[in-house]
Chain A
Amino acid sequence: MLKRSHFIALGLVALLTLILLNLPSRTSARLKSAISGLFLPMFGLAGATQKVSGHAGDAVVPKKVLLAENNALQDENEQLRVQLTRATEIGRENERLRQLLGWQQHTQWKLKLANVVTRDPANWWRTIEVDLGSRDGLRENLPVLSPDGNLIGRISSVSLTRSQIVLLGDPNCKVSGLVQDDARDMGIVAAGGPFDGSFITMSYLSSSANVKSGQNVVTSGMGDIFPKGIPIGQIVDSRQVEFGLYTEARIKLAANLSSLEEVWVMFP
């Protein structure tokens, strides 16, 4: 039998849980942000430690290695400059042609670099937090890319100094995807399995879709969140589901979600 004091304690905790679970989402988000703010000193400390160890690591790299790396980067820089000049010219031409045809102009997207500070401690969510918030201009539903430009997810909530990003593979992150084949098949990229984060599922491809292993999947631009053409991954295999009603494909993500340290946030 429970003692009276145990009953009271259990009742109090249950009541507090009920109150917290029934708070309006805005209030709950603010409260969460305030509580997680208690960890800011620890994140600051961890960041500083990482920086110091990084500097210490830089100091012991031999000059020969640095010079070789510098030469390689200069070569790459020159090649990229040439490519950029060509791309800018093609972009201008594209804009002119769009104007002539009366098509809508493309929105110019800007990028902002953010550092990953935490990962969801619960195994049933796939989210990360970054060190930029509403004071840096971030808002909900902005697309987020890996450092090499592949899609990793979208911003799900924003506080003053930090933002939560829901990653591809989480049930709350669904993206309209386009297979880069002749038929330009479209489907919904949704959650994968809970164990291996590098594979996700693309559902609702038409039953006649002839998707093959190795084909690239990019964002389709539908849904007003993700701009068109951001790489998502490559098709691994496909199968007919729901008695042949539609095709489902397994996708290997282009970005490695388990080793993210920095991410790009896209601004319109």
Chain B
Amino acid sequence: MNPYQSLLILVTAYLLVFLESSFQGVRHLLGAQVNLLPALMVYASLSTGLFTIILLAGLGGLWVDSLSANPLGVTMLPLFVVGLLIYRRRNLILRDQLFAQIVLGLVASAIVPVGALLLVLSCGQKPLLGLGTTWQFVVTVIGGGIATPLLFKLFGFFDDSLSYRRTSESSFRPDREIRRGRS
């Protein structure tokens, strides 16, 4: 794990939360805002340790809730649960496969808003729900699914830029060299 990776993930989370609250292009176009933190959590849980997952869930959740009318803390637990579930199975997941990234992004983007919404309802709040919520849910889930491989590509680029280049391994082995001629 690159030592800068955790920091980079947290900085990305900060920027994503800012973008979600400031830029309304997707909301104007499709009627719903896309939540990109679950997609980032998929990357973090497949690439970093438990501490980074806790930090991302804690800080990312608090940042989203601080800019929202949500009660403070409702986004933190669903984010962490998604991160932990993926982290536990990460040895079985083909993290470099596009299909796996998209499916994980879709699932994470479905679990986090539902979990947060359940917590909001359990706090006695009355959020705006109706038939249109289904469409908003679909947009959020698909948006998360599309964003996940893009985030993998982005972090792959950062990883290549910030870490040492891999040395290309030569197939030449001196112990297997066939020496010709008389010795």
Chain A contact residues, CB within 8 Å of chain B:
2, 5-6, 9-10, 12-14, 16-17, 19-21, 23, 28, 31-33, 35-36, 38-39, 42-43, 46, 117-127, 129, 156, 164, 166, 169-172, 191, 193-196, 258
Contacts and interface: CB of A to CB of B under 8 A. Distances in A.
Interface stretch (B98-106, B121-129, B146-154, B155-163): B121-129
A197 to B, nearest CB: 8
Contact of B58 (A16, A46, A118, A170): A16
Nearest to A3: B88
Contacts, number: 152
Interface string B1-38: 00000000000001101101110100110011101000
B50 to A, nearest CB: 6
Contacts of A119: 21-22, 24, 27, 33
A120 B140 contact: no
A6 B31 CA distance: 38
Interface band, chain B: 35 or more
Contact of A2 (B17, B88, B129): B88
Contacts of B88: 2, 6
A123 B136 contact: yes
Interface of B: 14-15, 17-18, 20-22, 24, 27-28, 31-33, 35, 50, 53-54, 57-58, 62-74, 76-77, 80-81, 84, 87-88, 113, 116-117, 119-120, 123, 126-133, 135-136, 140
A126 to B, nearest CB: 6
Given A21-B71, A35-B62, A120-B68, A125 B22 contact: no
A260 B69 CA distance: 18
22 contacts: A5-B50, A9-B54, A10-B80, A10-B84, A12-B54, A17-B74, A35-B72, A39-B14, A42-B18, A42-B22, A120-B21, A120-B67, A120-B68, A120-B69, A122-B116, A123-B33, A124-B117, A166-B69, A170-B128, A193-B130, A194-B129, A258-B27
Contact of A195 (B18, B72, B130): B130
